[in-house]
């Protein structure tokens, strides 16, 4: 997947809570518990699971692209009342 380079102010690696905040800020709402189920490569450092922010953003972008577009709103056609 071709993705844009990460902004320089982002951390190189993030734990689950930080990763969830970053994904929520840049893509869509997600909780840190949801990231546990995502197929990311986690490393245990000082008892914390951390992943590469670039990998996290690639997966979030892929999920966003794969999500179906749904149009909402009220029905514009008038219905006849039942007899």
Q: Could you tell me if residue 73 is inside a domain?
A: no
pLDDT given at position 4 = 63
More confident residue, 43 or 9: 43
Q: Could you tell me if residue 79 is inside a domain?
A: no
Overall number of domains in the chain: 1
The pTM score is 0.79
- Report pLDDT digits (tens) over 17-64: 999 999 999 999 999 999 999 999 999 999 999 999 999 999 999 999
CB atoms within 10 A of CB 60: 21
Q: Could you tell me if residue 3 is inside a domain?
A: no
Residue ranges of the alpha helices (H) in 1-83? 16-26, 32-35, 53-66
Four-CA torsion 71, 77, 81, 82, nearest 10 degrees: -70
**If you ran DSSP here, which 8-state letter would residue 40 be given?**
-
Q: Could you tell me if residue 72 is inside a domain?
A: no
Question: Which residue range(s) make up the domain with 49?
Answer: 13-64
Q: Could you tell me if residue 49 is inside a domain?
A: yes
């Amino acid at each position: 997947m071709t993705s844009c380079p990460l902004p320089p102010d982002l951390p190189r690696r993030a734990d689950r809570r930080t990763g969830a905040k970053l994904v929520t800020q840049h893509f869509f709402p997600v909780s840190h518990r949801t990231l546990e189920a995502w197929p990311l490569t986690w490393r245990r450092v000082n008892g914390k699971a951390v992943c590469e922010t670039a990998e996290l953003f690639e997966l979030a972008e892929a999920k966003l692209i794969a999500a179906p577009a749904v149009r909402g709103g009220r029905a514009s056609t008038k219905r006849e009342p039942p007899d």
